Structure 1
Amino acid sequence: MAGQDLLHTQPRPMHWLATATAISAVVAAASFVQPPDAKATTSPVAAAGPRPAAAPDPGRVTFPVDCGPNRLDVVKKASGDLDGDGTTETVAVVRCHSQTGTPPSGVYVLAQPSGPKAAPRIVATLLDPARRRTVQTLTVGNGAISAALLGYSTLDVPRCCPDVHRSVKWQWKGGKFVQSELPAAMSTQGL
């Protein structure tokens, strides 16, 4: 008879429905209960202040690089406040598209003019492709731009195999970007 006494404890669909309804009522009631000093906001950004402008998009810039019939590729980009004015700039590394070899890189700093539809503009050229250097790495941090550059010591060096390596840094000083060498341990040969 002990088995028959426990038959009434078996859950039936009606028990589950009643439990679900009770839980829903508790959750709904809790959503209406607020502390007396609670305030509603329309967006989390409104409470935090104005949203910073997005970093300039290099895809919206016409770079001063002639690639002939080939397209121009943005191969690296990094963003940060480079001049300490509270706005975000973008550093873009571009080069002509090539199936073989290593075309030279150009390094440009982009700023976003005011106005939501305005295209970013180039505010500085850090490395002109005419210098025939390739950017291997690019980083932006603490207001500085650091890059590892590859190049060639003579015209006889095959374009596949750069033999000159140099690490440089650009930093905003006196109203312009100033280039400096990183320690010799990071550079095997000057460019």
Structure 2
Amino acid sequence: MQPMAGQDLLHTQPRPMHWLATATALSAVVAAASFVQPPDATATTSHGVRAARPAAAPDPARVSFPVNCGPNRLDVVQKVPGDLDGDGTTETVAVVRCHSETGTPPSGVYVLAGPTDGKAAPRIVATLLAPARQLSVRKLTVGNGVISAGLLGYSTLDVPRCCPDVHKDVKWQWKGGKFVQSELPAAMGTQRA
């Protein structure tokens, strides 16, 4: 005999145990689905955006530096990559000087950034030390957005160009949209005149 409309059958009544079993089964399906991912799945903050590969540090060998060496070649004596302005891209600090078999030729220190169109040569975006200042770089480091250098120079024109007698340590740091130079305290650097 079939129940009449409005009558409920005892076995069709939802009981707390039915709800518990349904909730447990649903939780198991959701948990299992969170562990199963396609092999190329990546986490992103916005739909359809893939993380860009970081660009390589600019190569100083592809740059035409504003240094006149006459008949001598220009040497890149040091290159150090780093993110100097905190924008997530890598710049290169390059130390260059004219080739010489004797003496200590003056150095130029330049900051290079990648090309704007992706195919051109890297760009010089800052001159930290121009060769006209007649100083040479003896060491250069880059760390935490700070460029540190040990510089050698001459107190007078009478000092032989082989033997610099002025030594100082300086640093450059990106502040307010430009590189700001400061001299390190005397306790950290040495200066002899």
TM-score range, shorter chain: 0.7 to 0.9
Normalising by structure 1, report the TM-score. Answer: 0.74
Identify the residue that residue 29 of structure 1 maps to in structure 2. none
**What is the deviation of 1:39?**
3.6
**What is the deviation of 1:190?**
7.4
**Aligned pair 1:105/2:107, yes or no?**
yes
**Aligned pair 1:96/2:98, yes or no?**
yes
Structure 1 segments (4+ residues) deviating >4 Å: none
Q: 1:183 aligns with which of 175, 182, 185?
A: 185
Identify the residue that residue 36 of structure 2 maps to in structure 1. 37
Which of these two proteins has the greater Rg computed from alpha carbons?
Answer: 2
User: Aligned equivalents of 2:117 and 2:36: distance in 1?
Assistant: 38
Residues 139-189 of structure 1 deviation map (CA, whole Å, 9 limit, x = unaligned):
000001000000010111111111100000000011110000112123222
Letter in 2 for 1:72: L
Contact 1:108–1:126 under 8 Å retained in 2: yes
Letter in 2 for 1:171: Q
Q: 2:72 aligns with which of 65, 70, 83?
A: 70
Identify the residue that residue 86 of structure 2 maps to in structure 1. 84
User: Aligned equivalents of 1:40 and 1:71: distance in 2?
Assistant: 52
User: Aligned equivalents of 1:126 and 1:115: distance in 2?
Assistant: 25
**SS of the counterpart of 1:65?**
coil
**SS of the counterpart of 2:159?**
coil
Structure 2: segments with no counterpart, 5+ residues? 1-34, 41-49
Contact 1:166–1:186 under 8 Å retained in 2: no
User: Aligned equivalents of 2:92 and 2:148: distance in 1?
Assistant: 13
**What is the deviation of 1:84?**
1.0
Identify the residue that residue 147 of structure 1 maps to in structure 2. 149
Q: Root-mean-square deviation (CA), in Å? A: 2.0
**SS of the counterpart of 2:187?**
helix
Aligned residues: 152
User: Aligned equivalents of 2:52 and 2:87: distance in 1?
Assistant: 15
Q: 2:119 aligns with which of 117, 120, 134?
A: 117
User: Aligned equivalents of 1:187 and 1:39: distance in 2?
Assistant: 56
**SS of the counterpart of 2:95?**
strand
Letter in 2 for 1:113: P
**SS of the counterpart of 2:152?**
strand
With over 3 angstroms needed to count, the CA separation of the structure-2 counterparts of 1:190 and 1:182, relative to structure 1, is farther
Normalising by structure 2, report the TM-score. Answer: 0.74
**What is the deviation of 1:128?**
0.5
User: Aligned equivalents of 1:146 and 1:122: distance in 2?
Assistant: 19
Structure 1: segments with no counterpart, 5+ residues? 1-35, 42-47
**What is the deviation of 1:85?**
1.0
User: Aligned equivalents of 2:71 and 2:139: distance in 1?
Assistant: 27
